[in-house]
Structure 1
Amino acid sequence: MRQTVFLHVWLACFSRVLGVAWKDTPIFGSADNPRILIKDSITDGFQYQVYQNHSVFLYLEDSEEMYVGGTDFVLKIDVDSYHIIEELSLTTTEQQCKEGPCQNVITVIEKFQDSLFVCGTNGQKPQCWKLFSPVNNQSHEIIEGTGISPFMHTQNSLYLSVEGDLYSAAPLDTDGSSLQFRRKAGSRTNVWMYDKWVTEPTFISASWVKRKEDPDNEKIYIFFREKNGDVNPEADPWITKVARVCKVDEGGSKRFFQNMWTSFLKARLVCGFPEESLYFNRLQDVYVIHAEDWRDTRVYALFTSSWNSTAVCIYSVGMIEEIFENSTFKGYDKDVPKPRPGTCVKNSRSLPLATVNVVKDHPEMTDWVHSIRRASPFYVSSNNYTKMAVDRVQAADQSMHSILLLSTDSGRMHKVLEVGSKPFVISETQLSSRSSVQSMKIDSKRKKLVVGFSEKISTIDLQRCREYGDTCEDCVLARDPYCSWTRLGCSPTVLGGIQSITDQDIRVCIKSVKEPLSLSVTPSPVDLRTVHSVPLDVPFYLSCPINSYHAVYTWKHGNQTSPCLQMQSNCLHLISAMTQENYGNYECISKERNYTTARKKYQLTEQKVPETQNDGSRHAINAASAFVSRLWVNLGLAVAVMEFRVRCP
């Protein structure tokens, strides 16, 4: 009796601590969670000698090198070995510094004209360097950096290089004020914004959208959030906007609006549930996927909300242009002059005063820009996503699919498939346990993701197909266009490989092009039965791995089924004390869509252990303690065991 009470107390305490310890673990059976967890952190890459509060890198496809900028340095690194090819020190002197830290935090690395263009805070006196290649006679050229680099790395800024011109947004004052988007350097005239067009903006991204057949009508789109003019206490203090300027805009005439954008227009960018008037207003990141037809260019925008949720909304440039070309101008009730305000013209200095005046005083559109999925966001999550990248991937049948790579504030990355109008969360990978992602760059050709952290620059293989399992069904259920089933198992996608990206239909596993491809290279472990010999009255547990958090797991014993107890990435079946009825065969069954399989099989047989009555009592107590301690140790919770023993009798 004493042994039973003792065991029940331990199990009760075990359950309480269990609930706290694994509160962030995905619950299986829910399609909102990542299908699988890739638990090992990515360790390859370049490790900084000192943690960087801010770092940037320039990575170009088809290049064997990348450039990394941190505090007081720029590195040229081999992308395969991560060995340093060249190191450039860009430190400041005490005489250069104003009040505050005397550091040069690199904020800009960009290919600009015939050189590598680098800018930094330079002890709160921003400066830029054009670093020429060794074939040139010059080694570098120094340029004044105010308006390109911020005074401190914590201040908002962005930059964009377009056909030899540099566009940027950075503060003009040390306090971070006078922030605006401008064309700052290059072959064209320097042009800037009228100071009343935006209110306390935070610029997120800028993108040039090409029009091969109409280059004079090409535009640059700027995505930002600004202070909300609605003073209602229930209104979000920030609101997201998209603006555009013409690439050929040279500003107004000498008499009016000289060196000011004559084509600047802006509109509210909506992401949320319009019918409920519930919106995600705080833009965090933007990724643009360009298309042959500029109208089909996709804008993926990541938002957060005041209620601790994040959302992804998708827009097309064609839909954005529809608003700019046809909406009325907010606050303007007169006839719209010709040419229409915002129109791209080769000679912007010749625009009539009436057209420029509308841009000056009423640049905002009355209508809002809605997402492609107008009624709701494409994806809503309770995860705190901070950065996003998007890749277009060709599947085995040559169809194209979009993959969203979303990084969280805790160093994790979610791989999300855009299938139709719905998201499918393929996997979660722990990229770093020390810091969150600072920057990301996709290499579509190599199928790699380059990620910057405070402590390192890492390269992640986007084709980690073996993680999905050893069967065709597991590979197909993953719905990962980077992976397909072949004679070699779940492998990087090749033409003729087996997939079912859209339908997730495992019946394709019985089909083949020339010969059956659904045979695994090695026999599956589910065909093996593990045998345990267990004494009567001893507590025992069975465990099987969770291969998919989209599946539902149950334990089958004879004609009886019971749910499993989820413990992180394991599914447990607990037996408080072995009886004759507990012996026999057990199967851990997973069911996902129309695929049911036994993940693990056990056979429990009785073990005869002679013992005295006193020894039996002692054995039961020790076995109960060992049982619970064994669970903790197996799951890596040695510290929790100590706290657990203190709190529980």
Structure 2
Amino acid sequence: LRLISNLLLLLLSCCVCTAAGYPFKAPLDLDVTPRVTVLSSGLQGCRRFQSSAVNYSTMLLEAESERLYVGARGAVFALNASDISASSALTIEWEASPEQKRQCLLKGKDNQTECFNHIRFLQRFNSTHLYMCGTHAFKPLCAYIEEKMFVMSSQPEEGRDKCPYGPTTGYTALIIDEQMYTASQYEFRSFPDIRRNSPSPTLKTEDAPTRWLNEADFVGSALVRESLGTSSGDDDKIYFFFTERSQEQTTTYSHSRVARVARVCKGDRGGRLTLQKRWTSFLKARLMCSLPEYDFHFNMLRSVFVMPGHTPQDTLFYGIFGLEWKNVKASAVCRFSLSEVQEAFQGPYMENQDSDSKWKEYTGKIPDPRPGTCITDALRAKGINVSTSLPDDVLNFVRRHPLMSQHVQPSDRRPLLFRRTTDYTHMAVHMIQGLDGQKYHVLYMGTDEGWLHKAVEVEGQLHIIEELQLFEEPQPVKNLLISAKQMSMYVGSPSGVVQLPLSNCHRYTSCYDCIFARDPHCAWNGAQCVNIMSHVDRSTLIQDIQHGSRGCENTQDDVVQRSRSVRVGDDVLLQCELSSNLATPLWTLDGSELQGYGLNSGFRTGTDGLLVIEARQDQSGLYTCYAVENNIKVAIVTYNVTIRLDLPPPPPHPSSERPLPPPPAPLLPHSELLSPRNMEAMYLSLITILGGLCVVLTVVLVYVGFCLRVGHRGKYSLRAAAAAYPNSKKHNRNKKQHRSSSHMELKTISSHCNGNGICNGVSKQHNGDIQDGGFLQIVPGEGHPSPNKEPPPPAPPLPPTPQLPSPECDFPNGLSATLPSVLRRMNGNSYVLLRQSESESMSPLCYSFAEELNRILEKRKHTQLLPRPDESSV
């Protein structure tokens, strides 16, 4: 049975590891590591806005008036776009009434999140007014805002056809020429809708006999004015982006949900009889964001950003995609062109014979004019000037064939970026021209834990320039906006709004650091890294976005120079901090690269520096640390290390609070007392004397305690540990009544000793008995048994005296500590050098050296580390 249970546990652990690690393999050029990590304490130029409100999820930026409008829960704010932390913020309070909150509770909604007025929509209506909508505790309302005075200019109006009921329901909306287009799941119906609400004619999507939308979750929408500069007289179009339940029939892969793009024509007026008050131009197609060679299909669309071009045909759509499995963190960024979307809408249609069957490609005859097209000059020439003039056979075909067969493929037919351990939530894109004359797209992507990743696209791939921690407490990024005029990024979150500069070039302190960043905003001017937008004459600036390695060959960077003097046999740590996550350290000694860092080499290397173990005189010399990035070596720091036999002890640190004892008198240079053998004898003698004193004191204490107990005068009694714990609780409840007769009780607590006499103090009991290997702890108890109570149970036998550790004792985690003959010192700190145990026979509950190290490193991921610890803290 034990064998079967072990096999089952092994199989279960394999399944869990496989599920947690999926996708288990990804192309290395897509899973990009951010070059620089900046914690919230190191953010520069950061401004914040917070109030008593929460959930700052809706934002509107007015570049002309330099205002940032923010919608939160129960309030709307008008902030100064140049400095959102300024005290000039204007506020409109708009809370749900107590009666409406009570009605919300009666509907079974959550009074902590849902029964409030969450502002879901905030946009400009005309030149003088804004328009906003809120959930209003599951009874949506909308209202106009007079911009100049920033007050509600009218009583709120019904909003159930314009705004969703809940704060988290998928939703997108636009106001175009004072007409409102929305897409969401309204009321309590089981399916969503795309609507034009006002003014008339109002239009919506069809739900019978063919449902056009199937559990759609909307994330964004955009207007593309395709009528500009067109020779066909085509109409403007509105594109909607969402994820819905799959309807296609396929033999290659199966997914329950897929990403979509849908479009309608702005001039659509519906049909005369067929599709009356329904869209006549609605079509939808699938957005593909996948890696077929790895069988990765990202079907969940989380966010979309529309990047306008010089012409409507140059419009680009950037999307953030995720996997269907909620317990797997992964994100992909795909880019689509408008021409690819138009090509899909010009392709074949899909159809289904009945409501229970899957959709497949339609191969029959397509009526003329082509169903789903907007009104063009060619149709006007045939006398079809509005959609109400379209023939019934065209409208019937549109009703039954809203889905296109051709998929919209991303640029380069693969994602720009894939991140295995990150969930991106929102994104924004900024275009800037580099010094090489090319235009680069800089992407800003927020995560579900409050980080902001800045990346630049170079030849179809993303290079993550930096990752910024926006908040100390993890929270999702709710919205992102870019102001090219203010050169700022605005981030909405549950707790507030953050304003950041689009770039911080002064973060890069050397020429190569500035070039390696590959930030299109930054360039090296010979003395520092500067923002190119602030320089009119750019002829002397150095920048290399394409390769990130050229231009600094003739520059001289300052190298930090330090000196170290240590004794022979001591260990010394030469620190070398690399600011780039993409750089690797390289150490040289007197110009020659250090080869090998094995157990017997005397060196250990890591990302924090080089450790010289048991230094020898032949290891003296000039040590240089290089950061290797993009195949270029950049010197960071040099150490002139001198290893001597007669080095005096280091002086006390000036910042030490406790006075140190005076140093011993200097000995003769060639005194035999300094030999390692004599030093070892001195240490052993000192330890023997101290141990003897401890034994004498122990005997005295035991004798005194025995005498006190025999004379019945003591205030201490021994009681079983199983009864001591509840009695101590009872004593705490009645301590006022028994204060005069209180005493202290000795309680045995077992411990986990790891072989060196160190115990963790965890109490263990089994059926009221006390395990061996414990120690005594003093806890409150009673002095003498009360005549009305039973006498206490007899005391348990004292635990055996723990054995002192042997000179070399094994630890339960697979490590062994060799007690050194001379205590090792590093910058004034004493330590014991741990080595891996050579014994292969370990307890099944023990961990190997590698396993224990992995557990420690896993815990360190979630701890805040000092950005630049001083050397004495290593």
The question of a shared fold, defined as TM-score above 0.5 by the shorter chain, is answered with: yes
Q: What is the rounded CA distance, in whole Å, between the counterparts of 1:461 and 1:269 in structure 2?
A: 33
Equivalent-residue separation in structure 1 for 2:467 and 2:605 (angstroms): 18
The 3-state SS of whatever aligns with 1:99 is helix
- Give the AA of the match of 2:98: E
Does 2:425 correspond to 1:386?
yes
1:574 to 611, 629, 632: 611
Aligned positions of 1:54-73 closer than 5 A:
55-73=57-75
Displacement after TM superposition at 1:193 (Å) = 0.8
Aligned equivalent of 1:77, options 76, 79, 86: 79
Structure 1 pair 464–159 and aligned structure 2 pair: CA distance change class (3 A): same
Q: Which moved more, 1:287-296 or 1:535-544?
A: 535-544
SS of the residue 1:236 aligns to = coil
Instruction: Out of 50-59 and 316-325, give the one that drifted further.
Output: 50-59
Question: Alignment RMSD, CA only?
Answer: 3.2
Q: What's the CA shift for 1:336?
A: 0.8
The answer for unaligned runs of 5 or more in structure 1 is 1-27, 511-517, 642-649
In structure 2, the CA distance between the partners of 1:488 and 1:210, relative to structure 1 (3 Å rule), is farther
The separation in 1 between residues aligned to 2:862 and 2:136, in whole angstroms, is 47
What is the deviation of 1:248?
A: 0.6
Which amino acid in 1 is paired with 2:312?
Answer: W
Mapping of 1:128-527 within 5 angstroms? 128-134=142-148, 139-174=153-188, 177-186=190-199, 189-195=201-207, 196-211=211-226, 212-214=228-230, 216-229=234-247, 235-253=254-272, 255-274=273-292, 277-305=295-323, 306=325, 308-330=329-351, 331-345=361-375, 346-374=385-413, 376-382=414-420, 383-434=422-473, 435-471=475-511, 473-493=512-532, 494=535, 495-496=538-539, 497-507=541-551, 510=554, 524-526=557-559
Q: 1:628 to 1:230 in 2, by over 3 A?
A: farther
d(CA) in 2 for partners of 1:342, 1:416: 38
Question: Given residue 237 of structure 1, which amino acid in structure 2 is its aligned partner?
Answer: S
What amino acid sits opposite 2:373 in the alignment?
Answer: T
The whole-number CA distance in structure 1 between the counterparts of 2:294 and 2:82 is: 50
**1:235–1:466 Cα change, 3 Å:** same
What is the rounded CA distance, in whole Å, between the counterparts of 1:390 and 1:396 in structure 2?
Answer: 19
CA distance in 2, matches of 1:636, 1:173: 44
Q: Are 2:829 and 1:626 equivalent residues in the alignment?
A: yes
Distance in 1 (alpha carbons) for counterparts of 2:312 and 2:204: 25
Contact kept in structure 2, 1:203 and 1:225, CA below 8 Å: yes
Alpha-carbon separation, structure 2, partners of 1:636 and 1:30: 23
Q: Give the distance between the partners of 1:479 and 1:37, measured in 2 at CA.
A: 15
Rounded to whole Å, the distance in 2 between the matches of 1:638 and 1:217 is 56
Report the Cα offset of residue 479 of structure 1: 1.2
Aligned to 1:23: none
Q: Is the 8 A contact 1:147 1:169 kept in 2?
A: no
- d(CA) in 1 for partners of 2:168, 2:398: 32
C-alpha distance in 2, partners of 1:146/1:639?
46
State the match for 1:4 in structure 2. none
The structure whose residues are more often strand, as a share, is 1
Matched residue SS, 1:217 = coil
Greater shift, 132-141 or 355-364, is seen at 132-141
Runs of 5+ consecutive residues of structure 2 not aligned to the other structure: 1-27, 106-110, 352-360, 376-384, 598-602, 650-666, 668-673, 684-819, 834-855, 867-874
Q: Counterpart of 1:38? A: 38
Partner of 1:107: 120
Q: Which amino acid aligns with 1:589?
A: Y
Contact 2:125 2:175 in 1 (8 A): yes
Letter in 2 for 1:356: L
Tell me how far apart the structure 2 counterparts of residues 344 and 29 of structure 1 sit (CA, whole Å). 42
- Contact (CA 8 Å) 2:440, 2:520: kept in 1 or not? yes
Aligned to 1:22: none
Describe how 1:532-611 pairs up with structure 2 within 5 A: 532-558=564-590, 559-561=592-594, 570-606=607-643, 607-609=647-649
SS of the residue corresponding to residue 208 of structure 1 reads: strand
1:394–1:401 Cα contact (<8 Å) kept: yes
Aligned pair in 2 of structure 1 residues 365, 135: CA closer, same or farther (>3 Å)?
same
What letter is aligned with 2:261? V
User: What's the TM-score, normalizing by structure 1?
Assistant: 0.84
Equivalent position amino acid for 1:199 in 2:
N
Give the SS at the match of 2:411. Answer: coil
Query: Per-residue deviation at 1:95?
Result: 2.3
Aligned residues: 592
For 1:193, the aligned partner's letter is T
Q: Using the alignment, how far apart are the partners of 1:87 and 1:448 within structure 2? A: 22
**Given that residues 31 and 550 in structure 1 are in contact (C-alpha distance below 8 angstroms), is that contact kept between their aligned partners in structure 2?**
no
- CA gap 1:623/1:469 in 2 versus in 1, 3 angstroms: closer
Confirm or deny: 8 A CA contact 2:53 2:72 kept in the other structure. no
Deviations 1:437-493 (A, max 9, x none): 11100112332111112222111112211222322x322222111111114521101
Tell me how far apart the structure 2 counterparts of residues 592 and 136 of structure 1 sit (CA, whole Å).
Answer: 53
Task: Specify whether residues 194 and 142 from structure 1 end up closer, same or farther in structure 2 by C-alpha distance, changes over 3 A only.
Answer: same
1:613 is aligned, of 661, 679, 690, to 679
Give the Cα–Cα distance (whole angstroms) in 2 for the partners of residues 551 and 138 of structure 1.
Answer: 55
* Cα distance, 1:341–1:544 mapped onto 2, change above 3 Å: same
Distance 2:402 2:466 in 1: 43
Superposed displacement of residue 99, structure 1: 2.6
State the Cα deviation string for residues 152-203 of structure 1 (Å, max 9, x = none): 20222111122222111233224x73421211234x5221111210111111
RCO higher in structure (CA 8 A, sep ≥6): 1
Q: CA separation in 2, counterparts of 1:264 and 1:136?
A: 38
Q: Distance in 2 between matches of 1:541 and 1:74?
A: 55
Structure 1: distance between partners of 2:305 and 2:479: 12
Aligned equivalents of 1:580 and 1:231: distance in 2?
A: 75
Amino acid at match of 1:455: S
Question: What is the alpha-carbon distance in structure 1 between the residues aligned to residue 301 and residue 863 of structure 2?
Answer: 41
Q: What secondary structure, in the 3-state scheme, does the structure 1 residue paired with 2:491 have?
A: strand
Q: TM-score, normalised by structure 2?
A: 0.63
Query: Which shifted more, 29-38 or 462-471?
Result: 29-38
Which of 72-81 and 92-101 deviates more? 92-101
Q: Which residue identity lines up with residue 243 of structure 1 in the other structure? A: A
CA shift at 1:74, angstroms? 1.1
Return the alpha-carbon distance in structure 2 between the equivalents of residues 219 and 509 of structure 1: 52
Which residue number corresponds to residue 732 of structure 2? none
CA displacement at 1:380 relative to structure 2: 1.4
Structure 2 residue matching 1:598: 3-state secondary structure: strand
Tell me, yes or no, if the aligned pair for 1:537 and 1:620 is still in contact at 8 Å. Answer: no
Alpha-carbon distance between aligned partners in 2 of 1:167 and 1:636, rounded to the nearest angstrom: 45
Deviation at 1:135? 7.4
The structure-2 alpha-carbon separation of the partners of 1:585 and 1:29, relative to structure 1 and needing over 3 Å to count, comes to farther
Query: What is the match of residue 133 of structure 2?
Result: 119
Distance 2:520 2:444 in 1: 13
CA contact (8 A) 1:388 1:404 kept: yes
Question: In structure 2, do the counterparts of structure 1 residues 605 and 295 end up closer, same or farther at CA, with 3 Å as the change threshold?
Answer: same
| Equivalent AA in structure 2 for residue 326 of structure 1 | G
